[in-house]
Amino acid sequence: MSTDTTPSAEQREIITAPLHPMSVIACAGSGKTFTAVRRLAHIRQCLGDHRGRVALLSFSNIAVETFRREYQALAMGSLKIPSHQRVEIDTLDGFITTNILRPHAHRTMGCTTTPFLLSGSESFLLGKDYRFWVESPRTDNYPVPQGHIHRVVIGPSGAETGFFYQNSGMLARINNGPKVAAALGKLGAYTHELARYWVDLTLREQPEILRVLARRYPHILIDEAQDIGILHQVIIERLSQAGSQISLIGDPNQGIYEFMGATGSFLSSYHSKPGVSAAALTRNYRSVPAVLDLANAISARTDDPDRTAPPTLHGAYFVPYTTADTKKVVAAFQATLVSAGLDPARSAVLCRARKWANELAGHGGAPGVGTTKILAQAAMARDIHSDYSTAFRLVATAIMGLIDNAPKGIVARLTQPVRYPEERALRRVIWAFTRDPVSGLPSAALPAISDWQPAMLQRVRVLMTNLSTAHGLNHTSSTLGARLSKRSLPGSPLMSPPDLGADQPLRVRISTVHQVKGESLDAVLYMATKPHVSALLGGGSTEDGRIGYVAVTRARDLLWLAVPVTALKSLRADLHAKGFKDATATAAAPTAGQGNGSP
């Protein structure tokens, strides 16, 4: 990709290939979005007046928004065609929900209404018929918590599949999965995972749907194909057998959803299927050579860098830490970003687990119980992290949970504005309450017991009256005080003292590896345990190894790997062998202008 609009030879070969199924193995930072959008446009042009639609599917709403934006610019620019002309860009889950689940699955599910997505806050989930039960060899069996229903997954179980509860990185077997799924199905209720389950059953029981879909979508491109899990794979193979030509593009080394069977193996072997041609993208446009050399070493690839080494600080380093000084490592990393001229807002501290990320970020969860706790979480998300999207989702969940006659699936509809534009009026009301600390959700800087909770209760009462009058959403006013109580709230503000400081330095984002997959970051600090480091050095044969690879390949200029000081003696030689340098060789926080990657 010599310019922003000119494809490289590799990219051009894929974009203009004949119209048959393809398997494209693409290295990190190889311009997959650029290539996939142009391949989509090429297929649509080649089909001419054919009434079939071409679908480009991915796994995240962010990726879909990027694809739509780039395709629209391309269509209005060089192609000069209507951007919506027989082209569909969506998530894979959105595609199967729109085309199969909502219009057809009710017959298989046994429900009389249009299926709806669960938020996890629905009161009926507490009923005995709707509780998934976990088998525990060490304790008594226990039910999956109501709010954790989205952690019920369907994964490999020997030669078959089974239901599991995913919690703290572990999978625990569920002993009544099909029975509860059937009970929920009769209500029309589903999670994203259960949607795939019902779509598979629907296609088995109603095979005529496949024939219609294959005619409607003769060509389907799937981005991030390493994330295809067991149920996705079954559905894709059914579409392929019915006549849709399926092309996959992705990186098997980034398959990090093993609990769903998404190890990248389907993508890796897809080229061996009859009629599928293989292609590759092997030039990395993201990372400096030193970071790419490391990525190649741990993945056994030989990808080429497009960038040259900059004159400022860059490269891959390891830095030791002890359990007591993890926050000092984060502070040193942030200081290094500033001195090196790298953008903290485009950098991140990454962890394998959400719990560790929360601890480093200094927020171990909101106080309170029930709906009060949810609204406290929303206030903290808004005021501490400026995360208005999460705050809105939490407020919508809390408020709709207080409604006596809330429509089924309303939270899912409120949080998906593109898919459900008909909820615009109600969405505006909830957004206004979420955004406004003066007359809406109170500021997290207020003392929780004396100020925040009384203000929250009074303002929620006003909001509920508005919802009843303007939208017909009713509530039992006499119970609001009990449901929005002060129980378990602290006397102090929801925001801790460091969060209240007016002149705090810009804090780098702290997140999980899974949350930044697909992003390009100026600098990355990957906080790792000894097993995580060992897995990273061992390559992509394990999920932890692939997670480490994803962390490494997010970095454009600078990568820090935090290694436990107790593990350095046994790991140092292997770290040097792969291409890491010691960040503490001369200084913990190198200054800018020291070229050749030397700290």
Taking 60 as the threshold, does the pLDDT of residue 160 lie above it? yes
Q: What span, in angstroms and rounded, lies between the C-alpha atoms of 356 and 512?
A: 9
Identical fold for domains 9-91+206-284 and 289-362+509-582, yes or no, is: yes
Q: What is the pLDDT of residues 446-489, one digit of tens each?
A: 999 999 999 999 999 999 999 999 999 999 888 899 999 999 99
Q: What span, in angstroms and rounded, lies between the C-alpha atoms of 525 and 335?
A: 12
pTM: 0.86
Q: Which pLDDT belongs to residue 508?
A: 87
Tell me which of 573 and 418 has the higher pLDDT.
573
Q: Which residues pair with 521 in a beta bridge?
A: 555
Among 3.40.50.1000, 3.20.20.450, 3.30.70.3270, 3.40.50.300, what is the CATH number of 289-362+509-582? 3.40.50.300
Tokens of 234: 């079954």
Q: What span, in angstroms and rounded, lies between the C-alpha atoms of 267 and 330?
A: 36
Taking alpha carbons only, the member of 370, 425, 359 closest to residue 394 is 370
Taking 80 as the threshold, does the pLDDT of residue 593 lie above it? no
Q: What span, in angstroms and rounded, lies between the C-alpha atoms of 500 and 447?
A: 12
Could you state, in order of their start, the residue ranges of all structural domains in the chain?
Answer: 9-91+206-284, 96-198, 289-362+509-582, 370-495
* Dihedral pair phi/psi, residue 582, rounded to 5°: -80, 115
At 358, the pLDDT band (50, 70, 90 cuts) reads: confident
Tell me how far the alpha carbon of residue 476 is from its chain's centroid.
Answer: 36
Q: What span, in angstroms and rounded, lies between the C-alpha atoms of 28 and 294?
A: 13
CATH 3.30.565.10 matches 9-91+206-284? no
User: CA torsion, points 31, 36, 42, 48, in degrees to nearest 10?
Assistant: -160
Q: What is the pLDDT of residues 102-151, one digit of tens each?
A: 999 999 999 999 999 998 888 899 999 999 999 988 889 999 999 899 99
**How are beta strands 555-564 and 581-582 bridged, if at all?**
unpaired
The residue-averaged pLDDT of 195-219 equals 97
User: CA torsion, points 247, 250, 255, 257, in degrees to nearest 10?
Assistant: -60
Classify burial at 578, counting beta carbons within 10 Å of its beta carbon; exposed 0-12, middle 13-18, buried 19 or more. buried
Q: What span, in angstroms and rounded, lies between the C-alpha atoms of 205 and 196?
A: 14
Tokens of 236: 């894709």
Taking 50 as the threshold, does the pLDDT of residue 539 lie above it? yes
* Dihedral pair phi/psi, residue 182, rounded to 5°: -65, -40
**How are beta strands 348-351 and 521-527 bridged, if at all?**
parallel
3-state helix, strand and coil shares in percent for the chain, rounded to the nearest 5: 50, 15, 35
Mean pLDDT of the chain: 91
Q: Which H or E run contains 69?
A: helix 61-74
Q: Which pLDDT belongs to residue 84?
A: 61
Question: How is 472-538 classified by DSSP, letter by letter?
Answer: -----GGGHHHHT--TT--SSBSS-HHHH-TTPPPPPEEEEHHHHTT--EEEEEEE--HHHHHHHHH
Taking 90 as the threshold, does the pLDDT of residue 180 lie above it? yes
Alpha carbon separation from 12 to 144, 224, 305, 464, 553 (Å, rounded): 49, 19, 18, 56, 24
Q: Which pLDDT belongs to residue 500?
A: 56
Q: What span, in angstroms and rounded, lies between the C-alpha atoms of 247 and 301?
A: 22
Q: Which pLDDT belongs to residue 2?
A: 43
Q: Which pLDDT belongs to residue 594?
A: 36
Q: What is the pLDDT of residues 402-439, one digit of tens each?
A: 999 889 889 989 998 877 889 999 999 999 999 999 99
